[in-house]
């Protein structure tokens, strides 16, 4: 389940097209991409970014996410929109964006889960 990427049904997406990865640990491994306005940019969200507010984890996530998203074929620009979202310009596949973002959060998952659990 954690490795599958699924298209979000059109009536469930807040945009023109959406993709996500269902996971048993959405706070750490949840990612989604939503295309805004036909040929508009994609918004890629990594749910764990909301919780990571300490370095080096926060910096590692931000640097790795920007790099991974830029490496997706069709991407022309990547900008951080806010704490947990990146705006991606160009004409990439939403599935490929989610797969790239999932690789980043997976690489930090063990450390991120330990950090989040320590907040309680």
Work out how many domains the chain is built from and give that number: 1
87 located within any domain: yes
CA distance 83 to 58: 10
23 located within any domain: yes
Q: Of 107, 115, 90, nearest to 46 (Cα)?
A: 107
User: What does residue 51 show for φ and ψ, rounded to 5 degrees?
Assistant: -95, -25
Tens digits of pLDDT across the chain (120 residues) = 467 999 999 899 988 999 999 999 999 999 999 998 777 899 999 999 999 888 889 999 999 999 999 999 999 999 999 989 999 999 999 999 999 999 999 999 999 999 998 875
pLDDT at residue number 120: 57
CB atoms within 10 A of CB 97: 28
Q: pTM of the full predicted structure?
A: 0.93
pLDDT at residue number 1: 46
40 located within any domain: yes
Domain that holds residue 100: 6-119
CA distance 18 to 77: 19
pLDDT at residue number 58: 93
1 located within any domain: no
14 located within any domain: yes
96 located within any domain: yes
49 located within any domain: yes
51 located within any domain: yes
| Each residue's pLDDT tens digit, 7-27 | 999 899 988 999 999 999 999
CB atoms within 10 A of CB 99: 18
In our burial notation (b when 16+ CB lie closer than 10 A, e otherwise), range 21-44 reads: bebeeeebbbbbbbbeeeeebbbb
């Amino acid at each position: 389940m954690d490795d599958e990427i699924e298209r979000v049904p059109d009536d469930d997406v807040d945009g023109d097209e959406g993709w996500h990865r269902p996971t048993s640990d959405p706070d750490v491994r949840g990612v989604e991409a939503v295309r805004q306005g036909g040929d508009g940019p994609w918004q890629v969200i990594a749910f764990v970014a909301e919780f990571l507010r300490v370095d080096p984890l926060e910096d590692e996530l931000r640097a790795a996410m920007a790099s991974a998203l830029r490496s997706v074929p069709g991407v022309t620009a990547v900008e951080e929109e806010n704490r947990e979202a990146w705006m991606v310009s160009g004409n990439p596949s939403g599935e490929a964006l989610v797969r790239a973002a999932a690789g980043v959060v997976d690489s930090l998952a063990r450390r991120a889960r330990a950090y989040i659990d320590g907040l309680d």
